[in-house]
């Protein structure tokens, strides 16, 4: 399984591209493509045709996927953008850890 170190619900910081420096929450992760959608990042204006559910159509803002390599996890413990490590806890579960402060990332 091609897992990503970054998951839905994580807070991340954008490292490169037009949204460099922005922070946001991962809304969706696409492990097969190694891409993530981050709230408010990599927004594209999309022309939307009216559908039965949206009624009106028009131009909408859409968050586009970006490569997971372009973002870094923001550690909930130390608040820094960090690389993610792993360790195995007492019950044999693999948990993510912050490379900066060593804290566990749930």
**Cβ-based neighbours of 61, under 8 Å, separated by 6 or more:** 43, 44, 45, 46
73 near Zn ion, judged by CB under 5 A: no
101 near Zn ion, judged by CB under 5 A: yes
d(CA 62, CA 102): 35
Cβ nearer to Zn ion, comparing 25 with 77: 77
Which two structure tokens, joined as six digits, stand for 97? 């850890």
**Cα-to-chain-centroid distance, residue 52:** 30
Kindly indicate which of the ranges 27-35, 42-50, 54-62, 73-81 contains the residues binding Zn ion, using the contact rule CB under 5 A: 73-81
Say how many residues touch Zn ion, by CB under 5 A.
7
Cβ nearer to Zn ion, comparing 34 with 100: 100
**Contacting residues toward Zn ion, per CB under 5 A:** 75, 77-78, 98, 100-101, 103
């Amino acid at each position: 399984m091609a897992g990503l170190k970054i998951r839905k619900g994580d807070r991340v910081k954008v490292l490169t591209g037009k949204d460099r420096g922005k922070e946001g929450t991962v809304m969706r992760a696409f492990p097969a493509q190694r891409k993530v959608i981050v709230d408010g990042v990599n927004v594209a204006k999309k022309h939307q045709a009216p559908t039965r559910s949206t009624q009106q159509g028009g131009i909408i803002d859409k968050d586009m996927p970006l490569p997971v390599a372009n973002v870094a996890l923001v550690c909930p413990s130390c608040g820094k953008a960090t690389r993610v490590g792993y360790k195995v806890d007492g019950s044999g579960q693999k948990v993510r850890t912050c490379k900066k402060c060593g804290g566990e990332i749930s």
